[in-house]
Amino acid sequence: MTDKTLQQIDKLICSWLKQIDNVIPQLITEMTTETKRHRFDLVTNVDKQIQQQFQQFLATHFPEHQLLAEEKSNEMITNEINHLWIMDPIDGTANLVKQQEDYCIILAYFYEGKPMLSYVYDYPHKKLYKAIRGEGAFCNGIKMEEPHR
């Protein structure tokens, strides 16, 4: 995978995250909650809609990419997939339901099994953390310093 291709993917993902930023307030206003495996395992319409919109985004822009996600059946995911996205549409669903500000959208992109891009979007604080293979980590577009070891 070329650096240019990776940059193009990153640009589209950042654009999608900005777009989803406009959708989240309405979803939260109309929030519905269900339980999955047990009463502490929650899923909301916010989780489902964000994931569904990302699936539609992939189908439009990267139809050959696959998605491994929390709110869907992942039976078709195999080790042979060249382009794989892993998503937690809302990490911290219980906090979202309690109207606390500790939740985020998590995305990671793997090409031929290697991590290439990762995103943690802290929606309540409007902070987008991302890492690009070979380029480092960024917060809202500003390169983060590597920790001293």
Is the separation of the CB atoms in 74 and 87 below 8 Å?
no
Report whether 88 belongs to an annotated binding site.
yes
List, for residues 31-57, the tens digit of each pLDDT value.
888 776 666 667 788 999 999 999 999
- Is 24 one of the annotated binding-site residues? no
CB 44 within 8 A of CB 90: yes
Residue 75 annotated as binding site: no
* Contact by Cβ (8 Å): 133, 7: no
Please tell me whether the overall predicted TM-score, pTM, comes out greater than 0.85 for this model.
yes
Is 70 a known ligand-binding residue? yes
Which amino acid does the sequence have at 10?
Answer: D
Kindly report each contact of residues 89-92 with a partner whose C-beta sits within 8 Å and lies 24 or more positions away, as own/partner: 89/46, 89/47, 89/48, 89/50, 89/51, 89/54, 90/44, 90/46, 90/47, 90/50
Choose among 84, 88, 52: nearest CA to 65.
84
> How many Å from the N-terminal Cα to the C-terminal Cα in the chain?
30
Q: Domain 3-72+80-140 is of which CATH architecture? A: 2-Layer Sandwich (3.30)
pLDDT band at 74 (very low <50, low <70, confident <90, very high): low
* Best CA proximity match to 92, nearest among 106, 82, 80: 106
What are 79-114's pLDDT values in tens digits? 778 999 999 999 887 888 888 889 999 999 999 999
Average pLDDT over the chain, rounded to an integer: 90
57, 58, 28: which is closest to 45 by C-alpha? 28
Residue 21's SS3 state is helix
Q: For residue range 3-26, list pLDDT tens digits in order.
A: 999 999 999 999 999 999 999 999
CA dihedral over 10, 11, 14, 20, signed as positive or negative = negative
What pLDDT is attached to residue 41? Answer: 62
Q: Which amino acid is at 106?
A: I
